[in-house]
Amino acid sequence: MNKVAIVTGASRGIGREIAKELAISGIKVVANYNKSEDQAIKLKEELKKDNFFVDLFKADVSKQEECKNLVNYTLERYKKIDILINNAGIDKYKLITEVTQEEWNEMINTNLYSAFCMCQQVLPNMIHNKNGCIINISSVWGMIGASQEVVYSITKAGMDGLTKSLAKEVGPSNIRVNSIAPGLIDTDMNKELSETDINKLKEETPLERIGKAEDIAKCVNWLINDNFTTGQIISINGGWVIT
């Protein structure tokens, strides 16, 4: 396989598993990280032991200049980009009345602008090659909303809007754009949840467990290999949210 992928926010959690899954399936992966250099190096070394490879690139994808650097690096090194996984994201739990403008800007730029900007940067190459697969990691909260996570839910609903409109715009260039909207996944993002909260969520979930990062990575792999799915919001949530 000669495909090239960029995965944003790949040093830990869901992004890490996606980078691993793609590297193991033979895709050349540029794994982006921002602050967690140690964890990114650990991922690279762990894969190297089994003769798999990821390339690391540091960039804060909430900033246009750094998105450009990430894409330029990938193009210089691999000459093309087939796959973009917009995974980087942050969450903050707050009542709407307590959200500052600075927090709003940070969430919008990290979760939503980053995805928009990365799409802008990779698309000229994908359009030129008439080939591409973009996957936005959104959230069930973008579909149904979450109390005390209004800004987060807005950013994820925005990503789904990006998915639907961009799928229409670039479909004629053979570029597919989809969202994967996870339910609760066991990562650092949920480390504040108590055991009681987690048990309650398990009880509410038909498949009686919370998700693992690998569940999302498997879906990414499936979407990459598919040919006829675009503009869709695929929710991986064990049946917790059925719309």
| Angle formed by the axes of helices 64-78 and 114-129, nearest 10° | 30
From the list 42-50, 181-189, 199-207, 223-231, the region that binds ligand NAD by CB under 6 A is 181-189
- For ligand NAD, the closer of residues 34 and 74 by Cβ is 34
Give 189's contacts (C-beta < 8 A, 6+ positions apart): 13, 89, 91
Q: What is the DSSP string of 43-81?
A: HHHHHHHTT--EEEEE--TTSHHHHHHHHHHHHHHHS--
DSSP 3-state of 206: coil
Across the beta sheet with 233-236, what order do the strands follow? 54-58, 28-33, 4-7, 83-86, 132-137, 175-182, 233-236
Tell me which amino acid residue 173 is: S
Among the residue ranges 29-37, 116-124, 126-134, 162-170, the one whose residues contact ligand NAD (CB under 6 A) = 29-37
d(CA 212, CA 113): 26
Residues 207-226 touching ligand NAD, rule: CB under 6 A, are none
Of 33, 78, 113, 152, which is the active-site residue?
152
Complex with ligand NAD: residue 14 or 83, whichever CB lies closer: 14
Find the binder of ligand NAD among 7, 27, 57, 62 (CB under 6 A): 62
CA distance 230 to 238: 22
Q: Are 178 and 234 in contact (CB under 8 A)?
A: yes
**Closest CB to ligand NAD among residues 51, 101:** 101
Within 8 A by CB and 6+ apart from 106, the residues are 62, 90
152 included as an active-site residue: yes
Shortest Å, Cβ 191 to ligand NAD? 9
Where does this chain touch ligand NAD (CB under 6 A) — which range of 23-31, 56-64, 120-128, 193-201?
Answer: 56-64
Does 182 bind ligand NAD (CB under 6 A)? Our answer is: yes
**Per CB under 6 A, 187 contacts ligand NAD:** yes
Rule CB under 6 A: is residue 139 a binding residue for ligand NAD?
yes
- The yes or no reply on residue 230 touching ligand NAD (CB under 6 A) is no
Binders of ligand NAD among residues 8 to 27 (CB under 6 A) are 8-9, 11-15
- Its sign, for the CA torsion 228, 231, 237, 239, is negative
Q: Candidates 19-27, 74-82, 88-96, 200-208: pick the segment binding ligand NAD (CB under 6 A).
A: 88-96
Query: Among all residues, which ones are annotated catalytic?
Result: 152
- Point out which residues bind ligand NAD (CB under 6 A): 8-9, 11-15, 32, 34-36, 60-62, 87-90, 110, 137, 139, 182, 184-185, 187-190
